[in-house]
Amino acid sequence: MNSVAGPSITAIGGGHGLAATLGALRLLTPEVTAIVSIADDGGSSGRLRSELGIAPPGDLRKAIVALSDPASVLARALVERFEGGAMDGHAFGNLLIAAMAGLEGDLVRAIEEVMRLVGAVGQVVPATASAVTLRGETEAGGVVEGQVAVMGTSGLCRVTTVPEDPEVPREALDAIAASDATVLGPGSLYTSVLAAAATPAVVKALADRDSPLIYICNLRPQVPETEGIDAAGHLEVVRRHGIEPDVVIFDPDTICGEGLGSIGVAASLARRSGLAHEPRALATALASLRCWPGAGSA
């Protein structure tokens, strides 16, 4: 499966966590596929989803920027937000993706065109063929719907989507099957990572894979979504959704890794602020794994 340019890696998730992973992977290989959640219903993305009936573009935009040419002025413009008036809060990149989706009549093709414009490597694919609604279940038996609502709920035990078995783009499933490794996370456990990975088609593709699955744990619990959950708790939740990682990477300076057993790998991952993953540190940690494609080869 390895290419001359580098190993083929698939990364699954959403938000800033997935963007950090993509920044790390770009240092290791240009053969990267990002499978991105489109369950968002808040902020600029939520407004565009509600007003235009389109897939929320925010997490797609973040992934495109992470894989873009660092010298691209347009890529820098994608993150700029309008201030004041009816456009207040909208990121230019969200509007560009929405416009391209209208022109192309297909979200995957629209993303490809935006990536071409910003000189991005790899590919970015939505985790579902159309927008989904996230549905969270609590240990007490409660149910909440919508990403924002799930993010603000404590005591979660499971998430699903509405519809429960949404169509997943063939490009996403093919990428998982063909990858030399798949990376899950980091990011909000229920509302970014599992929002992208817990659909039946993706769960099956991950179960059928022939390559390593690496889970990157968040730096710390996210209140209230994962309040009181350590790295082993993250692993338990991921397994509860039918996903079995081969490795769990965690930063021992920010989150407890006890209970992970032999699949736990401790590494320094945080930026100096301690609030986010540092892409270069994450790239070093990934490349040092014994299961990383090409590790130990001459």
Q: For residue 264, what pLDDT is reported?
A: 98
Q: For residue 298, what pLDDT is reported?
A: 36
Q: Which amino acid is at 284?
A: T
CB count in 10 Å sphere of residue 231? 24
In degrees and rounded to multiples of 5, residue 71 shows phi and psi of -90, 0
Q: Determine contact, residues 145/133, Cβ cutoff 8 Å.
A: yes
For residues 154-172, one letter each, b for 16 or more C-beta atoms within 10 angstroms of the residue's C-beta and e for the rest, the string is: eebeebbbeeeebebbebb
Q: For residue 296, what pLDDT is reported?
A: 56
Q: For residue 132, what pLDDT is reported?
A: 95
Q: Taken in order 4, 120, 48, 276, is the CA torsion positive or negative?
A: positive
Q: How far apart (Å, rounded) are the C-alpha atoms in residues 202 and 18?
A: 17
Taking only the tens of pLDDT, the chain with its 298 residues reads 444 578 999 999 999 999 999 999 999 999 999 999 999 888 888 788 888 888 889 999 999 999 999 999 999 999 998 888 877 788 899 999 999 998 888 899 999 999 999 999 999 999 999 999 999 999 999 999 999 999 999 999 999 999 999 999 999 999 999 999 999 999 999 999 999 999 999 999 999 999 999 999 999 999 999 999 999 999 999 999 999 999 999 999 999 999 999 999 999 999 988 889 999 999 999 999 999 998 754 3
Q: What domains appear along the chain, each with residue ranges and CATH number?
A: 9-218 (3.40.50.10680)
Q: For residue 182, what pLDDT is reported?
A: 98
Query: What pTM was estimated for this model as a whole?
Result: 0.94
Q: Determine contact, residues 122/31, Cβ cutoff 8 Å.
A: yes
Q: For residue 1, what pLDDT is reported?
A: 40
Q: Write the burial class of residue 149 (CB in 10 Å: 0-12 exposed, 13-18 middle, 19+ buried).
A: middle
